[in-house]
Structure 1
């Protein structure tokens, strides 16, 4: 016996309307119902034949469904202002505009000696064109208003942070990158800025709900494990499989 409840029938019509921005015609609705019947009958036949047993895709889908149901209430939760502000302050790094730098750089020749580097700095400070010096590379000689994180994607880990710490408008270095050693002239350093809560309220609320959802999912897993006694092979005597 297959029974389509009024609630499920309404969901079919609502799903159609959400996709096509209009309610289904009588014929379209009959086709929706027909497809539901075929799907329901097929699922029951597959379960009767045991197709769900040992199928990794189905098992993962069922697990995901249970975890989704466990965390779904978070999507509708609305914290009070004090809770949201406390979350915003505790996680300020998530919402701050990243610090930015503007700089010039030249890549030093491999094995450049200290006295050669100092001589190069002197030339640069005296107004020499930096594009005519250095070993050359497929790297931008000038960088404008780039976040330190993006700088590190271009030049390598640690380079952005090192550049941001340099004195302003002086040729400094060497600064190491994934390409070698550089002389760098930091032109502008803009500090990280935390916008007012009202400017990012929607984003903060979304992040708060996401954190609540993660917590609900972990609590669900904990409760689930408490309901079962687990027996495992003796790996120490038999060895791991």
Structure 2
């Protein structure tokens, strides 16, 4: 078979991930016979001593005791590391390599990542499909660009009206009236980000302001504001072309996670997971029922 023919097969969209994965793992298994793997390699034991050790390491890093969800995550990560580590040994990935177990598990994850790139290359066709399947994620939120002047909460209504009239008569004096540390000019930003900065329902009030003129006063969590609304950009889905690079990064990131999950699910089935520890979350026990 020529190189071009092989490339055509690899790029065939109907080619299944697990078929290629099976070929890769099968080849390594043939090179590294089963007899070379220790007798108990099909058993993953999580006893109390092991779980206590894992929780101690976790506590040393996060400086608090793990809760039920944390313990479930600790065990899940341990199983992933153990499975990828043992499969790495079967594939002889540790040959001439003194890196510890964690590094070997990372190598197995890298195999999954390579399969992801092989089976799901980020072509324009795939990226467009990914973009439209997740339009809600890529939709840009309501956003505003504006200028503002902050006044103390106790500022009188009459003073605010007089200042507003001055601004409408001569907008060039606006910047000179800004005496607070709050920025005078705000570039286009999301409604959520603006509300986080100002509070008090300020971002919601912007929706009712006219664009292209000074208006207000508008109340925020900081005080009163006179506002010049420069841009009111409604929530919208951008064109694919304008966000292609961002879509590609998201696609590649989640394709790698999906590939790792598929490989892990395939490999964990080869093992019997024995759990003799007492304080193991039900979610883990339900996933690995004990006989």
Deviation at 1:121, TM superposition (A): 3.8
1:210 has 2:210 as partner = no
Deviation at 1:89, TM superposition (A): 1.6
Q: TM-score, normalised by structure 1?
A: 0.53
Asked if 1 retains the 8 angstrom alpha-carbon contact of 2:113 and 2:260, the reply is yes
Asked if 2 retains the 8 angstrom alpha-carbon contact of 1:124 and 1:171, the reply is no
Q: How does 1:1-241 map to 2 (within 5 A)?
A: 43=98, 58-76=100-118, 77-78=120-121, 83-92=126-135, 101-112=144-155, 117-118=160-161, 120-127=163-170, 129-131=173-175, 133=177, 136-143=179-186, 146-149=187-190, 152=193, 156=197, 161-162=203-204, 165=207, 166-168=209-211, 169-176=213-220, 179-191=222-234, 194=237, 196-197=239-240, 201=244, 204-226=247-269, 227-235=271-279
Deviation at 1:222, TM superposition (A): 3.4
**Partners of 2:101 and 2:116 in 1: CA distance:** 24
| Deviations 1:46-71, CA, capped at 9 Å, x for gaps | xxxxxx7xxxxx34323322222222
Q: TM-score, normalised by structure 2?
A: 0.46
RMSD (CA atoms): 4.3
**Partners of 1:65 and 1:160 in 2: CA distance:** 50
Deviation at 1:163, TM superposition (A): 7.1
Deviation at 1:216, TM superposition (A): 1.5
CA distance change for structure 1 residues 199 and 141 in 2, over 3 Å: closer, same or farther?
closer
Aligned length: 181
Asked if 2 retains the 8 angstrom alpha-carbon contact of 1:162 and 1:175, the reply is no
Asked if 2 retains the 8 angstrom alpha-carbon contact of 1:101 and 1:188, the reply is yes
Q: Which has the higher contact order (CA 8 A, sep 6+)?
A: 2
**Partners of 2:224 and 2:114 in 1: CA distance:** 51
Mean CA deviation greater in 71-80 or 120-129: 120-129
Asked if 2 retains the 8 angstrom alpha-carbon contact of 1:151 and 1:160, the reply is no
Match of 1:148, SS state, is strand
Match of 2:272, SS state, is coil
CA distance change for structure 1 residues 152 and 221 in 2, over 3 Å: closer, same or farther?
same
